[in-house]
Structures are given as C-alpha cells and as structure tokens.
Amino acid sequence: MLTIDRATHDAIIAHARRDHPDEACGVVAGPIGSDVPARFIPMLNAAMSPTFYEFDSGDLLKLYREMDDRDEEPVVVYHSHTSTEAYPSRTDINLAGEPGAHYVLVSTRDGADQSGPVDFRSYRIVDGEVTEEEVRVVDRYEDVAATQQKAEH
Amino acid sequence: MAIEVRIPTILRTYTGGERAVEGSGATVTELIDKLEVDHPGIQERLLENGEARRFVNIYVNDEDIRFTGGLDTAVADGDTVVILPAVAGGSASGF
C-alpha cells in the first residue's frame, strides 16, 4: 500500500495537468527505509513528449547525489499518461529501474488539463512483474504514525 | 588508489549488496571487463552488443560518458564512476 499525504498527492496531479498533453514525471523522496514519500521533486521531461518521459541525465545524477547526501531514496517515481489509462505500459515495465519504489501513474486522458478527473494509481514493478496496490491519502503523516501507535497499544 | 564505482540498487544483487565497489582499467570498457570478473553478470546489464545500453547512464567524475567518448572514455585511479539506470518510460511502445 502507498500512504501519501494530500498535499503531495495534489501536487503530482497539478504537475500532470500543467504538462498535459506531454507526460509529466518526477520523484517523491523520503528517508531510506521509511517508506514515507516526504519531499516532492518534479522533474523535467527531457523527452518533452506526449508518449514518453525521461529524466535528463545531468538532472538524474544531481537528484541521486542529493538524495544520497540526505540519506534519502526515491519512495515514489511518478509519471502521467495523457491519452491512455493509468496503468504501466510495456515500456514502463521494461525500463522500471527502482524495485523498491512505488510507481505512481496518473492519467489525464479525460480532459484533466481542464477540470476533468485524474486517475491516480500505484504499482510495484519488480523483475517485470506489475502489482497494483492500494493508495491511501492522509492529511498528514503524523496522523498515520499516531494511529499506528495507538493500534499497537 | 583505485577507481570508485557506485552501484545502483537494482544492480547490487551482483555486488553482494555493496553500494560501491573498487574498479580498475584505463577506459570504461576495461573497467567494465574487470567488474565482470569480480561481479559476474553485471556486464550484460551495462552493455548490449558491445555498446553502452541506451537506458543505463554511466558518469565519470560527473560527466555522462555519452559526451566524453563513450566506452572509450579514459579513467584513472582516484576517479569516481557512477552507474544509474535511466528513469524513463511512457505510454509509447517499442522500448
């Protein structure tokens, strides 16, 4: 399951709306091992394409160096599909290089650049296997931590 | 002093979980040959038909080797080599 805060969830959707009809892409980094997507990092789609996305190789190095320095990892890798459903394509599966990440796909195909709905779904992609997972949107992570603590008592 | 090679998560199965390993050689090609000796299987993840894979980025001292001579790029003791899988995808087919 992906647990994500409302502000980050909404920021991903806003990025996808803004870049439509091109695909939007980015990362949400979090402390290593935390599974908490804490730091929203929208990336430039160097392909600037409605059917393909790719981080610029210089941006990619900078991003990973920065995460390294902060003891972070990519908790979420997101991108949009602008004319197809929010499900990983064969290309997405072949190129998925972060087995520990939640791969978030949003679809803006139904007029989402205006005010239409945006589909927001999350997957694990490991060794070519796609597993969809539940998405839980919370107001703040602190609330989740508090609830979990309560449940343990 | 050796060449430090930083290994991405997805390739750490070849390095026993190590995030960085030592390498040697005068060019990236030689470095990868040596990596393959120490970590069998890793070469195939970096090269395809003798060329660097399209969706794997290799940097020598922060420079993408695509812009510095590809696999012939020179390396020397004290250099840092970073390997990163491209973050790419999309609805297009054929990749």
Chain A to chain B, count of Cβ pairs less than 8 Å apart? 92
Question: Contact, B3 vs B27, CB < 8 A?
Answer: no
- All structural domains of chain A, each given as residue ranges with its CATH number in brackets, are 2-152 (3.40.140.10)
pLDDT in tens, A18-47: 999 999 999 999 999 999 999 999 999 999
Instruction: Judge whether A133 and A101 are in contact, CB under 8 Å.
Output: no
Residue B54 lies in a domain: yes
User: B34 lies in which domain range?
Assistant: 3-85
Domains in chain B, number: 1
Residue B23 lies in a domain: yes
Residue of B47, B91, B49, B78 whose CA lies nearest to B65: B47
CATH code at B21? 3.10.20.30
Nearest Cα residue to A26 out of A146, A106, A84, A127: A106
Instruction: Report yes or no on B43 lying in a domain.
Output: yes
3 state DSSP class of A149: helix
Please report residues of B whose CB lies closer than 8 A to that of A60: 57, 84, 86-87
Candidates B46, B61, B87: best to mutate against A (most CBs of A within 10 A) is B87
Q: pLDDT tens, B22-62?
A: 999 999 999 999 999 999 999 999 999 999 999 999 999 99
Residues in CB range of A148: below 8 A, 6 or more apart: none
Confirm whether B90 is domain-assigned. Answer: no
Tell me the β-bridge partners of A28: A40, A76
pLDDT band, residue B95 (cuts 50/70/90):
confident
Does some domain include residue B91? no
Mean pLDDT of A1-17: 96
ipTM of predicted assembly, 2 dp: 0.92
Count of Cβ atoms closer than 10 Å to residue A132 Cβ: 14
**B93 is a domain residue:** no
Q: What is the pLDDT of residues A132-144, one digit of tens each?
A: 999 999 998 776 6
Please indicate, yes or no, if residue B20 is contained in any of the structural domains.
yes
* Cβ contact B91–A95 (<8 Å): no
Asked if residue B94 belongs to a domain, the reply is no
Mean pLDDT for the stretch of residues A41-56: 97
Render pLDDT for A62-120 as a digit per residue (tens, 0 to 9).
Answer: 999 999 999 999 999 999 999 999 999 999 999 999 999 999 999 999 877 677 788 99
Residues of B in contact with A100 (CB under 8 A): 9
Measure the CA–CA gap between A94 and A101, rounded to whole angstroms.
15
Nearest chain A residue to B63 by CA distance is: A58
What's the angle, vertex CA A83, arms to CA A88 and CA B85, rounded to 5?
Answer: 40
